[in-house]
């Protein structure tokens, strides 16, 4: 019972510290979405030079995209003419940061860590993109007939405040809600069960601890925001700031799915440049922090009230109110997703029944009522088919799949559902090989047609 109470107290304190900054980050994410159109990004990414790579890294750092959203976006930029180096720069720098994760890093780890995190994301993105341009030009990659932009800029300035709040506090929030919850629960559990000064007592060799964290982080999925509370708790247990930076870099920027997609789309040399930049950058900057920067900058008990109870950065009432609002938004989001999922299944069932009924009625029409044949070809009837597609996790994935499939010949309507791993296509003809190729080029797995 004491362990449960301790867990609940630690969870509440962690939420109090994070919630105000998370809400502010989600608001800025909505502002970026509405007032920073996708076409502005495309304009600066087309050349294989340093400036293009730098522009891409700078543009990618504040964008609220985690690994699942950055993959189709980066690939789409490449398919639309962005250089390979620019695309890799985007894939490296963007998932490491974002307005939401920067705000949470400041709240839990302090201002120096938040600034360093942005600088490291910029440098590793630029160097990774430059290395790709220099070494990966000969990768045999087909850039024709690829997917177009991940998002077709549906949200614009005309949506104003409604667009800002809808994206920031619903769409983007629910894109990362699952991983945010997992990250917070893991951090809370670590705070309760891991002994104080664990790393200084049992793993006091800082280079070894950085390698251990690196090996654990590369294959796992951690979004930039969810990795922050885990890093904060581990630092309280004695993990060095350099090893914590390794976690914040490698966790969000790499995972098994990202590695597989980059190898398939960009080629082996690009994959080596991508992983090499992240691994070497994490170890270099981790060592730099541990040995050349004042350790006082990274004493999180000077910045994080919920961990040290030394002082409050924000009034307690504001922290509690923000926690209630954040939890309420997440609950509301999952309720809306459940309702949308139920309505989606009903809609698919009704449409399928109507189409089947229409086909049967036409098949049983008397011959004397049949129209006279002319020299014009008869229009093919619209059919609806449901497919299973794995790997879609967010609104970016949904937009990417729908916007690319709708361009294929014969397809009139596409509805992707990340929650159900389902894809409903209405078309006059189905080229399954082309549909499969398009979906797989975006980094998702095409399974089969649902019977």
Q: How many domains, in total, are found in the chain?
A: 2
Q: Which of 302, 334, 366 is the last residue of a domain?
A: 334
pLDDT at residue number 376: 47
DSSP sequence for 162-200: HHHHHIIIIIHHHHHHHHHHHHHHHHHHHHHHSPTTHHH
pLDDT at residue number 303: 46
**Cα 172 from Cα 29, distance rounded (Å):** 8
Domain-embedded: residue 306: yes
Q: Which of 334, 367, 388 is the last residue of a domain?
A: 334
Please tell me whether residues 404 and 317 are part of one structural domain: no
Please tell me whether residues 319 and 435 are part of one structural domain: no
Token reading at 80? 């639309």
Please tell me whether residues 220 and 157 are part of one structural domain: yes
**Cα 64 from Cα 24, distance rounded (Å):** 12
Domain-embedded: residue 355: no
Angle, in degrees to the nearest 10, between helices 268-292 and 111-135: 150
pLDDT at residue number 394: 74
Q: Which of 334, 367, 401 is the last residue of a domain?
A: 334
Long-range contacts of 238-241 (CB under 8 A, 24+ apart): 238/196, 238/197, 238/198, 238/199, 238/200, 238/201, 238/204, 239/199, 239/209, 239/213, 240/199, 240/206, 240/209, 240/210, 240/286, 240/289, 240/290, 241/113, 241/289, 241/290, 241/295, 241/297, 241/298
pLDDT at residue number 201: 75
DSSP sequence for 228-239: HHHHHHHHHTT-
Please tell me whether residues 276 and 330 are part of one structural domain: yes
For the chain, 451 residues long, give each residue's pLDDT as a single digit of tens: 788 888 899 889 888 888 888 888 888 878 877 776 556 655 666 556 678 788 888 888 888 776 666 777 777 677 666 778 888 888 899 888 888 889 889 988 989 999 999 999 999 999 998 888 888 665 544 444 444 444 444 444 446 788 888 888 988 888 778 878 888 888 888 888 888 777 777 777 888 999 999 988 887 777 788 889 999 989 988 899 999 999 999 988 887 777 877 887 788 888 898 999 999 999 999 999 999 999 888 887 544 544 444 345 578 889 899 999 999 999 999 998 888 778 767 776 776 666 666 655 655 555 555 555 444 445 567 788 888 888 777 777 787 788 888 888 888 888 888 877 888 888 887 888 888 888 887 778 887 665 5
Please tell me whether residues 89 and 200 are part of one structural domain: yes
Domain-embedded: residue 311: yes
Please tell me whether residues 322 and 395 are part of one structural domain: no
Domain-embedded: residue 401: yes
Please tell me whether residues 61 and 143 are part of one structural domain: yes
**Cα 133 from Cα 85, distance rounded (Å):** 5
Domain-embedded: residue 367: no
Domain-embedded: residue 359: no
Please tell me whether residues 444 and 305 are part of one structural domain: no
Domain-embedded: residue 362: no
CA distances from 90 to 78, 123, 129, 336 (A): 10, 12, 8, 32
Please tell me whether residues 326 and 435 are part of one structural domain: no
Question: The domain spanning residue 407 has which CATH number?
Answer: 3.30.70.100
Residue 395's domain comprises: 379-449
Please tell me whether residues 186 and 246 are part of one structural domain: yes
Name the β-bridge partners of 386: 424
Instruction: Specify the DSSP class assigned to residue 381.
Output: P
pLDDT at residue number 156: 45
Domain-embedded: residue 198: yes
Please tell me whether residues 28 and 151 are part of one structural domain: yes
Please tell me whether residues 168 and 308 are part of one structural domain: yes
């Amino acid at each position: 019972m004491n362990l449960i109470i301790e867990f609940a107290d630690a969870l509440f304190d962690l939420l109090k510290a994070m919630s105000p900054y998370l809400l502010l980050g989600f608001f800025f994410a909505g502002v970026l979405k509405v007032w920073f159109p996708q076409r502005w990004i495309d304009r600066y990414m087309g050349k294989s030079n340093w400036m293009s790579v730098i522009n891409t890294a700078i543009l990618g750092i504040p964008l609220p995209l985690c690994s699942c959203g950055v993959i189709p976006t980066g690939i789409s930029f490449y398919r639309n003419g962005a250089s390979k180096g620019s695309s890799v720069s985007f894939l490296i720098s963007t998932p490491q940061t974002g307005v939401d994760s920067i705000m949470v890093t400041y709240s839990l780890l302090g201002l120096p860590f938040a600034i360093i995190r942005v600088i490291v994301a910029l440098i590793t993105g630029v160097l990774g993109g430059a290395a790709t341009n220099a070494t990966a030009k000969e990768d045999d990659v087909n850039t024709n007939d690829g997917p177009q932009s991940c998002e077709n800029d549906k949200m614009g300035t005309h949506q104003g405040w409604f667009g800002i709040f809808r994206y920031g506090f619903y769409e983007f929030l629910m894109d990362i809600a699952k991983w945010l919850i997992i990250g917070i629960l893991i951090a809370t559990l670590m705070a309760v069960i891991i002994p104080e000064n664990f790393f200084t007592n049992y793993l006091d060799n800082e280079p070894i601890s950085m390698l251990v964290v690196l090996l654990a982080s590369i294959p796992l999925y951690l979004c930039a925001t969810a990795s922050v509370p885990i890093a904060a708790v581990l630092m309280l247990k004695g993990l060095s700031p350099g090893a914590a930076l390794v976690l914040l870099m490698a966790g969000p920027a790499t995972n098994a799915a990202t590695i597989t997609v980059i190898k398939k789309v960009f080629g082996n040399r690009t994959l080596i440049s991508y992983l090499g930049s992240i691994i070497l950058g994490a170890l270099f900057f981790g060592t730099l922090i541990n040995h050349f920067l004042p350790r006082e900058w990274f004493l999180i008990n000077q910045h994080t009230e919920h961990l040290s109870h030394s002082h409050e950065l924000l009034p307690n009432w504001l922290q509690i109110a923000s926690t209630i609002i954040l939890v309420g938004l997440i609950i509301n989001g999952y309720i809306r997703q459940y309702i949308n999922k139920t309505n989606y299944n009903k809609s698919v069932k009704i449409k399928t029944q109507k189409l089947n009924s229409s086909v049967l009625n036409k098949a049983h029409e008397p011959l004397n009522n049949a129209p006279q044949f002319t020299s014009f070809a008869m229009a093919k009837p619209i059919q609806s088919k449901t497919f299973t597609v794995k790997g879609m996790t967010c609104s970016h994935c949904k937009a990417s799949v729908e916007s690319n499939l709708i361009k294929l010949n014969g397809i009139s309507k596409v509805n992707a559902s990340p929650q159900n791993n389902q894809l409903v296509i209405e078309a006059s003809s189905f080229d399954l090989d082309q549909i499969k190729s398009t979906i797989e080029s975006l980094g998702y797995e095409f399974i089969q047609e649902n019977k």
